[in-house]
Chain A
Amino acid sequence: MFYYILANSSRIIDGLVRHLYIIAASLPISVTIGVAAGILISRNKRAERIVIGIANILMTIPSLALFGFAIIIMSPLGMGIGVPPAIFALVIYSFLPITRNTVLALHAVPSSTIEAARGMGMTPRQILRRIQLPLAIPLLMAGIRNACVMGVSVTTIAYLVGAGGMGHFIFAGMTRTRLDMVLAGAVIVAVLGIATNYLLVMLERAVTPRGLMLEQNKE
């Protein structure tokens, strides 16, 4: 395996770059849509129930199937194969859990805290920006982290729709029974997943307000 990695380092780096590119291109989109949608629907009980219901259902769709749907939808636009359907599928797959977490995070703010803010004469906007969003950070970041980790996994499968990435080494390796190639792909993807998770946990800690961290540690 090490031999394979050394001998093919430039191809592996290309694959990694492509892999990360797909994640990096879709994530800002899904975070923006996800958080915005979460804030919007958190104000309406019915919209919330519907969207979260849909999110829960969409999350059960196998990622492989989602790529299939992405191809179907994107084909008429002439973007049926390669990176665009991969990004499309990834956005769909990750923005709903982010939305769901945003809603949950906003609701997790104790009603007494909001009441105090209202009682002091904060406008709804001020309450959102100064109180609700900062307090929502841990759950929000957890949602984003899950979306990223899932992104690493889903992007591996995006190879099957011609998007390239690290999936190439696993899938092509299997068909060619190149075992060292499969192993190299699998190990790198596994490390990538764990590293992504770890880095985002660190980021989460860095952006969580100190007072909240103390509160969580206490529990």
Chain B
Amino acid sequence: MAIELINAEKTYGDIYAVKDLTMTIPDNQITILIGPSGCGKTTTMKMINGLIPKTNGDIKINGTSIDEWNPIQLRRNIGYIIQEIGLFPHYTIFDNIATVPRLLHWEEKKIRQRVLELMDLVNLDPDEFLQKYPSQLSGGQRQRVGVARGLAADPDIVLMDEPFGAIDPINREKIQDSFLEIQKEIQKTIVFVTHDIHEAIKLGDSIAILDEGSLVQFDSAYNVVNNPATPLVEDLLGSDRAFKGLALLRVKDHMTKTFTTLTKSVSPADALQTMKQHDTKFAFLVDGRNNKLLGVVTAKDIKKRRADSLDKLSKQSEYIQPYATLLESLTKLFSSGFTALPVIDDKNVLVGVIHMQTILDQIEEMSILETAEDEA
């Protein structure tokens, strides 16, 4: 379902909240709206689902002007996750998520199944949370319920107004990763508001930058990072643009699939032998049946500690997910002190390894690109 904004405007008295906004929001992609507070992001979203009547211009959903849509039907077909979360305090988490499916008279069995799916998506334990009330949840947990609620009826279009704003950084990265993974499958048309340029670059297929109600730049994330249209956009990106560029690159595209794994049954001596053969100083301990990551074993530890099984020698390892960015990997590498990170999918299966050197090479490549541009 395509969204087209054609000279759309919203005025309050003689103040423009949104001014002459023309953009076609691509289907099945994530479009980011970003800009300073008060620049009209929320207003744009609310004009799309008719919560705020536009003053001028037109907005077409699927080729039909929103003036011709029945606003109630329109909104039931557009998922909306509001900035203030707005959970219903008298509904349980289950009932909150089930709101729109119930408005659409889904069967109770189908609703239940859908709710469980969504809880999994937003990384909340159904047994623990479904029967709780919003007041018993933390801000971040509430926000995740808000996201689940917005996606509940499987709408083609989803409007998300700073959906991850209240979630702590660690969970935010995780939820961003799962969100991207899911989007890969469900391919919704998503309009996503954020204040956070990292989030914008990581999630956005394209990024629209608004300032005082007007569109300043609307382009692919790559082009926005590499060709900021105005000083405002440059400011937004900050001085470390090359590093930000790392946020455009995903782990899954840069990881290596050749790595050394060991199972618990291997003796330490054999393990050392294997590592020598593969010319590596470390190996990953995995479950032999399903390749799930159990830990990391280093040659140094085996030599030094002389234990009789790998189990006792292995250490917990930092890890990263395939949809995470190289920027996130770099941060984790620095904090862990390793030169490589295991990449695991959401079922803990080891799928690859990302090396520090790969990332450093990428930075170099991008800096060259940047200087070349500056010279041109």
Give A contacts to B, CB under 8 Å: 110, 112-113, 115-123, 126, 131, 134-135, 209-212, 214-215, 218
Contacts and interface: CB of A to CB of B under 8 A. Distances in A.
Interface string B192-205: 00000000000000
B91 A211 contact: yes
A119 B88 CA distance: 13
Contacts of B51: 115, 118-119
Nearest to A120: B100
B75 A119 contact: yes
Given A113-B88, A135-B89, A218 B100 contact: no
B76 interface: yes
B134 A112 contact: no
Interface stretch (B78-86, B249-257, B298-306): B78-86
A112 B80 CA distance: 12
Given A115-B82, A212-B89, A120 B75 contact: yes
B110 interface: no
Contacts of A214: 133, 135-136
B90 A209 contact: yes
| Size class of the B contact interface (CB-based, 8 Å) | 20 to 34
B167 interface: no
A112 B89 CA distance: 12
A112 B75 contact: no
Contacts, number: 79
Contact of B90 (A115, A123, A211): A211
B90 A134 contact: yes
10 contacts: A112-B82, A112-B86, A116-B82, A116-B86, A116-B88, A121-B103, A126-B103, A131-B88, A134-B90, A215-B133
B85 A112 contact: yes
A121 B80 CA distance: 10
Contacts of B87: 113, 116
B80 A120 contact: yes
A118 B100 CA distance: 11
A182 B74 CA distance: 68
Nearest to B146: A116
Given A118-B75, A122-B72, 5 more contacts: A116-B80, A117-B86, A119-B82, A120-B103, A211-B134
B183 interface: no
A205 to B, nearest CB: 14
Nearest to A219: B135
Given A211-B133, A214-B133, A115 B103 contact: no
B49 A119 contact: yes
Nearest to A216: B135
A211 B76 contact: no
A115 B82 CA distance: 8
Interface string B95-120: 00001100100000000000000000
Contact of B100 (A121, A131, A215): A121
B131 to A, nearest CB: 10
B96 to A, nearest CB: 9
B91 to A, nearest CB: 6
B214 interface: no
A120 B133 contact: no
A116 to B, nearest CB: 3
A121 B83 CA distance: 17
A126 B75 CA distance: 14
A126 B102 CA distance: 12
